[in-house]
Amino acid sequence: MDCNLQTNLTGPEIKYDLRKRGDLASFLQNADIRLVRARYLYMLCSSRKALPRRQEAELVESMGGDATDGPALVTHGEMSEYGAGNRMAIIFAVSHSWETREHPDPCCFQLEQIVNCLSLYEAAYETDLWVFYDYVSLFQYQRKGEREEQSFRRALDDMHVIYAHEFTCTLRIESLTPEATWTAALADPSIQVSVYDEPSDSVRLRPLRDLVQNRSPYRDRGWCKAEIEWSALKSSTAMNHRIDQAEAEASTLRSMPMTPEALRSSAVFTHRSDAASVVQLQAKIFHQKVSACEDLLLEGLKASEFAQLAPALKHYRCLRSLRLKKFNVGAEEATAFAQALLGPGGVVQKLEIWCNVPEESAREMLKALATGLQTNSTVHTLIIREGDIGPAGGQALAEAIKANSTIQTMIFTESLGTTSVRALSQGLRVNAAITKLVIRNKEFSRHKGIGNAGAEAIATALMTNQSITHVDLGNNGIGLHGAKAIAEALKHNSTVAIMDLVNNHMKGQEGACALADGLKNNHVVIDLDIHCNWWELSDEPRALSEIERLLERNQRENSVAARPGWTDTRRSDRRAADARTAEREASGRFEDQQLPLRA
């Protein structure tokens, strides 16, 4: 950020909704902020030219000499189209150090990091890439005329918007130019950069050694610290990441923001006049964003970050859904997190955990969450994904649902094996609240999933459970013995109405006959999906016809409209739904923006 900052937050306050695309566009237009096209950055990097000031950049009417390429900076007309939803783009906000007073990146180190990152997004998405980089996007010193000064002041009044908005992705460059590169540039007078020169009141080339250097670490700088905090307020931590180091362990990210008071005491500003403005902006955004957040995605958190996260959760009074991915945590941090999330005062209703993490982290997190769920009264949906939770995880969740009376839906995808489902089934036997149980794998495999032993454990639980109405055991490698166990459970169960056994291995007429026999005295099941189980029904179609007849009987008795039956309609619908899910997962961070992926 420009060091020569002298501003007061004056004029009528405009409130921008940090969840709406149109409000982001309005802020950029109202403050006369211009974003930089990725292609212009590519051109500068390839020619080894340093980034220009906003004043010079907006004079570049075409890139590469071809007028069809457009100007270097995004126009306000294009931003209006974006705000109205008529134009797609990914907007990045770069957080970086100013390595000299006159120019933030005289050696083009930051420019190279930005270009390397943008090239990956360009390969994945068929859309425009627009970048906020303060030196190029905001009018810099020396500002001339009322237009430039007003634009700069308005931008600073709401600078948090560009970093905290849900439609921007923050790119952090925490490293400084490598010492060897910096030292060589200092010693070589031929390495010069175009900067504003106050004595001549003009932009001219000057060697690096003539500039006022600032080699303070990124995280010791007040503006950088503020940008970290504002970016941490996004509902998805995946929209705030470091791009200058490849090693995952080197990329630290505070998952939760500091209070304004904590920021004031920890930040060091090069100019004291900056401190009041930044802290005032932090106070402005902290309660606005935190108090309204309903869906929070936390990804890539370390143990130390969980310690910071726990006390901040109390400020999320509207939080309804929390998703946790790629975490690394110990027992102490997991316990503090679970107590803050699920203890007195907790409000979250849907909890989704990805367990494809180090085994100890998954074990400690599940143990802590299970303990909290025993007394929690707000969570109604629990989803565990990807990574076998093992017998210890199954046992912990079993103890939780024995005591819990509010969880209605439990979903496990790629996360339960034979031993873990056996443990879990002990809790299902006595639980009286769960109505929907899903244990499903993504792909069919006769050797993957809960298998016959797991199916037998679930069947035993269903013999006594009186609350579950919907069971999905698709893609679990369940064979004949599992089919017979489920059929036996149907003879005794009086609540399950929908059962999905698609893509298992209940091969042959014996499995079909067993299920038909189980349905004879069961008048509750109205929907039983067993597609992709039968490879030999051409020899004995009567069992399948009997199942269909019994389901139609139950549908009539329960006044339920007839199901599609054994046509291929449901299978096609399921495949279409699976394809849509895969596409959303592939789009990753920008799934809510519906951006087109490259073929």
From CA 312, how far away is CA 268, in angstroms rounded?
22
Rounded to an integer, what distance in angstroms lies between the CA atom of residue 304 and that of residue 34? 37
Give the domain ranges of the chain: 21-283, 348-585
Q: Which two tokens stand for residue 86?
A: 């008529």
* Statement: the pTM of the whole predicted model exceeds 0.85: no
Contact 73, 35 (CB under 8 A): yes
Q: Could you read off the pLDDT tens digit of each residue along the chain, which spans 599 residues?
A: 544 433 344 456 788 999 999 999 999 999 999 999 999 999 999 999 999 999 999 999 877 655 557 899 999 999 999 999 999 999 999 999 999 999 999 999 999 999 999 998 998 899 999 999 999 999 999 999 999 999 999 999 999 999 999 999 999 999 999 999 999 999 999 999 999 999 999 999 999 999 999 999 999 998 998 899 899 888 888 899 899 974 333 344 444 556 555 666 665 555 555 566 666 666 666 666 777 788 998 888 888 888 878 888 888 889 999 999 999 999 999 999 999 999 998 899 999 999 999 989 999 999 999 999 999 999 999 999 988 898 899 999 999 999 999 999 999 998 888 889 999 999 999 999 999 999 998 766 555 789 999 999 999 999 999 999 999 999 998 999 999 999 999 999 999 999 999 988 887 678 888 999 999 999 999 999 988 776 544 545 678 889 999 999 999 999 876 555 443 334 444 444 444 444 444 344 565 566 766 65
DSSP 190: T
Per the CB < 8 A criterion, the answer to whether 148 and 58 are in contact is: no
Task: Give the CATH fold of the 348-585 domain.
Answer: 3.80.10
In the structure encoding, which two tokens stand for residue 471, read together?
A: 């069971």
Buried b (16+ CB within 10 A) or exposed e, 17-55: ebbebebbbbbbeebbbbbbbbbbbbbbbeeeebbbbbb
| 370 vs 401: CA distance, rounded Å | 8
What single letter denotes the amino acid at residue 128? D
Cα angle, residue 342 at apex, residues 335 and 370 outer, rounded to 5°: 60
- Pairing status of strand 128-132 against strand 36-37: antiparallel
Upper half-sphere CA count for residue 46 (Cβ side, 13 Å): 9
d(CA 14, CA 161): 11
Task: Residue 150: name the closest of 33, 72, 47 by CA.
Answer: 33
DSSP state of 527: E
C-alpha distance from residue 526 to each of 129, 141, 265, 490, 549 (Å): 51, 73, 63, 12, 11
Alpha-carbon gap, residue 84 to 23, rounded angstroms? 10
